Structure 1
Amino acid sequence: MQRSSFFPPHEGFPLIRLAEIIGAVLSDESFGEIMVFSLSPIQRAVKGDISYVVSRKFLDKIEMCKASAIICSSDVMPFIPRHIPCLLSDNPDLAFAVAGSLLYPKAMRLQPVSGLKEGISPRAFVEKDVKLEKDIIIEPMATIGSGVEIGSGTYIGPGSVVGSGVKIGRNCSIGANVSIFSSFIGNDVILHAGARIGSDGFGYARSASKIHKIVQIGRVIIQDKVEIGANSTIDRGTMDDTIIGEGTKIDNQVQIGHNVHIGMKCIIISLVGIAGSTRIGDNVLIAGQCGIVGHINIGDGVQIAAKSGVVRDLPAGKKYGGFPARPIGEHLRDMASILSQSNKRYQEKMKEDNGQ
């Protein structure tokens, strides 16, 4: 596979310096002046690349590896060819993440599409009373409404719409075709292409003759260092606020309903739906395709397995799975029992069909 031209290699780090920055130990300091410029998987790595091995099950192609170094744990190092220096870390995932941010700094933030280096494109529309700090980029076809405030170092991508009165903090990256209404955005926030922030919450009341819309006059509050994936949607509150806590990371195509409060440093993976007024604590992990009903509480540190359906409060610090979501051990035992019974019935049916 040809090298990507989208993210060119770095000018390089000597291994001894890179190890120091990422908190790793170089396996042999005689390799300290070897330069690395880019990341690459084991099977494609060449001289100047650094690769990453998280466990022994990924070592099937290691003998063919031509990388200049490998990030791994001390448990994996004995299986690495001796001519390849190792950067040893107790947390290889974190070491790899930090190395990537150093070698590819431009990949850590959205980059201008039009080639605009600074300022406002003449093809953008910006109301006269907008307050802009320095070093802002606003791309073509973006629309910035009345009373908006945008902090220094923030980038607004092409075709994005920032509604009246919205406040966006410093060093934010707002991707292409994002819409933001009735929202306050903190510092160092990333909103990927197509994200919809602050649209109407889904609220209706029935009568005998029709369905009546319930007014949605709340806000969305996104705190510092939040990242929200492409085409995810976060509804504004009915009368209260929808809040996304500091450092939380949200994948693509996630729906968050009105008045939801999500704590700090949560991870929410794609295709999750969270209904209105649910409260989620800090450091919660919600795996893909989970559905969460409204008006419940999920405690700090909870982990929810993929495709789970959460219909009641979940106490802090535990793992849950299944539908309805229950403690993960109970869920796995139930699944094993169902599979065993299904297999037994299948075998009985096969015997019947064969006339036994």
Structure 2
Amino acid sequence: MADPRFFKKKGPFTLEELAEIGQCEIYRGDPTLLIHDVASLNEADTTCIGVLYNTKHHALLQDTKALACILGEEMVDRAPQNTALLVAKYPHRSFAMIATAFYPQEKKAGRIDPTAIIDPSSKLGEDVIIGPLAIIGANVEIDDGVVVGAHTVIEEGVSIGKNTIIGSHVSISHAIIGKCVNIKPGACIGQSGFGFFMDSGDMGGHVPVPQLGRVLIHDYVEIGANTTVDRGSGADTIIGLGTRIDNLVMVAHNVHFSKGCVMVTQTGIAGSTKLGDYVAAGGQVGIADNLKIGSGARLAAKCGIMRDVDPKEVMMGSPALPFKTFFRQVAVLKKLVEDTRKKVS
């Protein structure tokens, strides 16, 4: 359960209230039943509501002490008889909304730390929070409710939309940022990309190409800790509506994310690649430059993507292959090893 030193809890809520918040239906239990907290099924006590969102973990449901549980309709027969049940089409989604009701984002009063350095030409909205030793450059525009963490640098001309949260030690330049964006500590946004003419040396070495684009970050985007997003070289680098980028991801110049993409940690996307809506990449995926990744494509962890990917295509391996082809090759290789072993023995 959440540590009260770090998380402020609301509630309690009735089962009926939680069903409405989580867009669930009460399958079993008294609608006036009071629930005081959320917890995982194995840690929940008789005051909590838990969730079963993976049917493989049904043993946790059978052994739980939770007062109530959110689950899919197909699992209700496996729940203890004394457990109140909320049935949801997407239990994890419902749990997220209910947990947010218990632990809403704390709204703090606007405050500018006296050690912050703010250029007089910048424009700050209402209820803005600027942390210690943050630097706000010339002609920066920061809208209402924005939070800027300690030691963060916002360079000249950057625009930041309402209720965006920028963590500590973040560097932002050449960027237009929408509303309700969350940029986590250590991220670097808008620096020049890895762009140069590769010279053998007879003309004095590699020649840098000016990076004249921007980074456009649309609303409701999340960018993880220590992730880097290079500005465009001419065209802009674009992070589409609602995209989620994990920690330690590298986004090169001119990359275009459409809406709802998900990039897991240590993924790298080379320059000018374009991703459609809701593309998802597992950890340590590498995507070559100037590719098109179709909407709904799924890229398994450690994929090496060297060609365009069709919409909804699932890729695995390095170099990446369609998942059926990949597993056929695995099966053939396994049989080859077994046959070779038999011949040797």
Question: TM-score surpassing 0.5?
Answer: yes
In the TM superposition, what are the counterparts of 1:36-185 in structure 2 within 5 Å? 36-106=35-105, 117-185=109-177
Provide the rounded CA distance (Å) in 2 between the counterparts of 1:49 and 1:347. Answer: 57
Partner of 1:256: 251
> Cα RMSD over matched residues?
1.7
Residue 13 of structure 1: CA displacement?
1.3
Deviation track 1:65-99 (CA, whole Å, cap 9, x = no partner) reads 22121110111111110100111011112111211
Provide the rounded CA distance (Å) in 2 between the counterparts of 1:60 and 1:301. Answer: 32
Partner of 2:19: 19
Q: Specify the SS of the correspondent of 1:42.
A: coil
Provide the rounded CA distance (Å) in 1 between the counterparts of 2:79 and 2:41. Answer: 11
Provide the rounded CA distance (Å) in 1 between the counterparts of 2:291 and 2:2. Answer: 49
Residue 56 of structure 1: CA displacement?
3.3
Residue 207 of structure 1: CA displacement?
2.2
Provide the rounded CA distance (Å) in 2 between the counterparts of 1:264 and 1:78. Answer: 38
Change (3 A) 1:181 1:2: closer
Change (3 A) 1:346 1:194: farther
Q: Across the two proteins, how many residue pairs are aligned to each other?
A: 342
What percentage of residue pairs aligned between the two structures are identical? Answer: 35
**Equivalent position to 2:194, from 192, 202, 221:** 202
Provide the rounded CA distance (Å) in 1 between the counterparts of 2:313 and 2:20. Answer: 35
Provide the rounded CA distance (Å) in 1 between the counterparts of 2:341 and 2:12. Answer: 60
| CA contact 1:71–1:92 (8 Å) conserved in 2 | yes
The one-letter amino acid paired with 1:182 is H
| CA contact 1:9–1:37 (8 Å) conserved in 2 | no
Residue 324 of structure 1: CA displacement?
2.0
Q: Specify the SS of the correspondent of 1:102.
A: helix
Change (3 A) 1:82 1:3: farther
2:273 corresponds to 1:278: yes
Deviation track 1:251-304 (CA, whole Å, cap 9, x = no partner) reads 111000000111001111111100000111111111111100001111111111
Provide the rounded CA distance (Å) in 2 between the counterparts of 1:159 and 1:345. Answer: 61
| CA contact 2:136–2:155 (8 Å) conserved in 1 | yes
Provide the rounded CA distance (Å) in 2 between the counterparts of 1:301 and 1:127. Answer: 43
Q: Specify the SS of the correspondent of 2:115.
A: coil
Residue 42 of structure 1: CA displacement?
1.3
Can you give the 5+ residue segments of structure 2 that lack an aligned partner in the other structure?
Answer: none
Q: Specify the SS of the correspondent of 1:99.
A: helix
2:206 corresponds to 1:239: no
